[in-house]
Amino acid sequence: MLRFIARRLLETIPVLFIIATVTFFMMHGAPGGPFDSEKKPGPEVLARMKAHYGLDKPLFQQYLLQMKHLLQGDLGPSFKYPGRSVNEIIAVSFPVSLELGCEALVVALVFGLAAGMVASLKQNSAWDHVPMSLAMAGLCVPTFVMGPLLISAFAIHMDWFNAAGWFFPRDRVLPALTLGAYYAAYVARLTRGGFLEILNQDYIRTARAKGAGGARILFKHALRGGILPVVSFLGPAVAGLLTGSFVVETIFGIPGLGRYFVMAAFNRDYFMVMGSVLFYACFVVAFNLATDIVLVWLNPKLRFEE
């Protein structure tokens, strides 16, 4: 296992290098700049600002300088928030995004696993068709549509929750539902398919012949093999939950890293965009590695060498 982890970490280094390189040149190739605004500063002030941030140097020299700072763990200053570094902004905002992502993941797993298990036990019945129809509808409705619909129904008309903010426990409900509903639909369909495959195995028929009930078969005999597709999906799902929070955080006014990233993209805050992209990439790589380890633990047929 240690050799497997070491190999995966070594493979991550060129991936992060490519991500940083592509992000750097895409940012600098986009039209506009960090100091473009309605009231542009004078030429002398603009020249001093560019010199302060190193933007007066040739592009390749800027690239080498930023790579050097990244290797030292310094993500640089923020253009939008003078006096604050990107490291400080990430340290404050990412816990909010992580909390939202975890709550949305709980929503996805609770509703998705429950719907998929029930559908697999009651195949071709109403208990199968209704949850899968809802899952299909969940796949078709994007978060930027789901969010305003939930705000209109539960915040404006019913006044059960707040339309925006991140101050009280009830402020977490609508964002978590908005972000988790799409992935709950995926989890439900994967769970149904995985459990249907396991429930048709010979050892499950033997357990039924011995008088085992549906719940015992489901949780004791079929659970470990049935959730393998869901565990495989969790790696990209977590990446989607974090990157998908960009839209949700903007809709609900949540002070998470996704909202800072969107504002940085609009304001051409180069260092903030670079820092956010690399931070998310490292987090996703680490979670995918953990997912692979859990898969091997759940399925002894797999090996780390594979």
Query: Closest Cα to residue 234, out of 299, 184, 278?
Result: 184
**206: Cβ–Cβ under 8 A, 6 or more apart, which residues?**
none
Task: With beta carbons less than 8 A apart as the criterion, state whether 279 and 174 touch.
Answer: no
* The pLDDT value given to residue 256: 83
* The pLDDT value given to residue 221: 64
* The pLDDT value given to residue 8: 77
Q: Is 156 exposed, middle or buried (0-12, 13-18, 19+ CB in 10 A)?
A: exposed
Task: With beta carbons less than 8 A apart as the criterion, state whether 118 and 110 touch.
Answer: no
**Mean pLDDT per 10-residue run, the chain (306 residues)?**
78 87 86 69 75 80 87 84 84 87 87 83 79 79 84 87 84 88 84 77 70 67 70 74 76 84 82 87 79 70 56
- In DSSP notation, 260-300 reads HHHHHHHHT-HHHHHHHHHHHHHHHHHHHHHHHHHHHHH-T
Query: Closest Cα to residue 78, out of 249, 243, 255, 268?
Result: 268
Q: 273 in the Ramachandran plot: left (φ > 0), alpha (ψ -120 to 50) or beta?
A: alpha
Q: 130 in the Ramachandran plot: left (φ > 0), alpha (ψ -120 to 50) or beta?
A: alpha
For the chain, what are the domain ranges?
89-269
pTM of the model: 0.75
* The pLDDT value given to residue 297: 72
* The pLDDT value given to residue 218: 67
Give the three-state DSSP class for 43.
helix
* The pLDDT value given to residue 220: 67
Out of 3.40.50.2020, 3.40.1160.10, 1.10.3720.10, 3.40.190.80, select the CATH number for domain 89-269: 1.10.3720.10
How far is it, in rounded angstroms, from Cα 70 to Cα 81?
20
